[in-house]
Amino acid sequence: MENIIETYDITKKFNDFTAVKSVNLEVERNTIYGVLGPNGAGKTTLISMLCTILHPTSGTATVNGYDIVKNAKEVRGSIGIVFQSRALDDILTGREHLEMHASLYGVPKKVRSKRIEEILDLIDLGEKADEYTKTYSGGMKRRLEIGRGLIHYPKVLFLDEPTLGLDPQTREKIWEYIEGLNKREDVTVLLTTHYMDEADRLCDKIAIFNQGQIVTTDSPKNLKRELKADTITLTVDDIDKFCKKAEDLDFIKDIFVVDNEIKLMVERGENLITKVVNFAVENEIGVKSVELDHPNLEDVFIKYTGSSIKGGR
């Protein structure tokens, strides 16, 4: 399948700080691609370069076949952008926002009204189109911002933390809209997120991003399958003692400490819980809790970065 985004050792430095370091990624056309990482990892800086808002310190990228440095105007005409921070004017209606954006992006007048109605239908705001956006809920505002980013028929839509700060029900709705527009609008979606469930639910492929670098890329399914391990999570009264003693246990594939919890990567964990608890008791280590989980993206992130996406050691 053809790639619509490709980066070539793209790097961005701010004085002595390297926010994005020699990143290479490939995004296939008409897919949903996720950049998964904690806040401060460099995700927003990366897409800001792809959107031509920031100029790379070195390296480059192509978006829809255009070089982001040499052909910035053509890149901007190929993309839609929805950033984390809200960018709506409360004294405008939803329809007025779409009309203004369509005009700015040069959508021909003869198709503008039809396109606005298509977008209002897509984001389910037809009944609220002529109300001021100050009356909109957080989810409605987010949907309007997504719709505004689509008004000019972009080939790529960039979504920076699209559900940040939204309640679970609204997040679910936004996910449905993103899945729908990917199919109905024939648009490639590149989103950044620090939500594991969002990446797992939406993305055909993800790049795990940490400290300005991509540490691995693949589909969520393949990344989880790669672990071939369950996770036994323990809280104990002496973390250091348990970890030191557990180094000699041959059935533990890996061990991490995250947020004062011990995570043991094992195979067939259901057969090992009793064994782990007995081991702790034999070494006079009190066990406060124990849980078993099958592989998920949090485990993948820990494997490749050594910490949880929320932080840890």
CA pseudo-torsion sign 92, 94, 97, 102: negative
CA distances from 66 to 110, 151, 182, 232 (A): 28, 21, 21, 47
Residues pairing with 6 in the sheet: 26, 62
pLDDT at residue number 310: 66
84 DSSP 8-state letter: S
Is the pLDDT assigned to residue 264 strictly greater than 80? yes
Q: Cα-atom radius of gyration of the chain, to the nearest Å?
A: 23
Is 313's pLDDT higher than 50?
no
Q: How far apart are CA 199 and CA 210, in angstroms?
A: 15
Cα(83)–Cα(17) distance, integer angstroms: 23
Q: What is the rounded distance in angstroms from the CA atom of residue 80 to the CA atom of residue 99?
A: 15
CATH class of 3-223: alpha beta
Q: What are phi and psi of 170, to 5 degrees?
A: -70, -40
The length of the chain, given as a count of residues:
313
Split at pLDDT 50, 70, 90, the class of 252 is very high
Domain boundaries, the chain: 3-223, 229-294
Token pair, residue 278, equals 């007995």
CATH code for the part of the protein at 229-294: 3.30.70.260
What would the mean pLDDT of 149-158 be, rounded to a whole number? 92
Distance of CA 39 to the CA centre of its chain: 11
In this predicted structure, the answer to whether residue 1 has a pLDDT above a threshold of 80 is no
Kindly state the tokens that stand for 128: 């609220």
